[in-house]
Structure 1
């Protein structure tokens, strides 16, 4: 099991970011639960990627709890930034 932690700065409201993130995960067949403040997600991309998130001010803090060893943390971070940042 691997673990990554990173933050994504955002503009707009936490609700807007929550809706973009939820939509992006669900479009890929993943699951998303929580509120605009915190929660968890899981998606299957070359294996299971799951983690938690927490909003602090204008920053989305993400902790990846499980990921395929062949997918680097930077790739996950960049993909999430392009979808919700």
Structure 2
């Protein structure tokens, strides 16, 4: 399911599910480590340029993360069921 806005907390939770460091996400997304670190210092919606957000999202989704939209229960993340 596609959602418009990702939060910093969703990105951090996604990294935790994958056991990825900020360096791992930087490598997988092509976004520099300093940019990842700067973005994750804040709370709220993931900021930055649209291309940066798209690269982060794509890398996490390619690794098996599914972003869950706000649907009354709160936005979240989970690992895709590959079975």
> Shared topology, TM-score over 0.5?
no
Q: TM-score, normalised by structure 2?
A: 0.30
Q: Higher strand share goes to which structure? A: 1
Q: TM-score, normalised by structure 1?
A: 0.29
Q: Higher helix share goes to which structure? A: 2
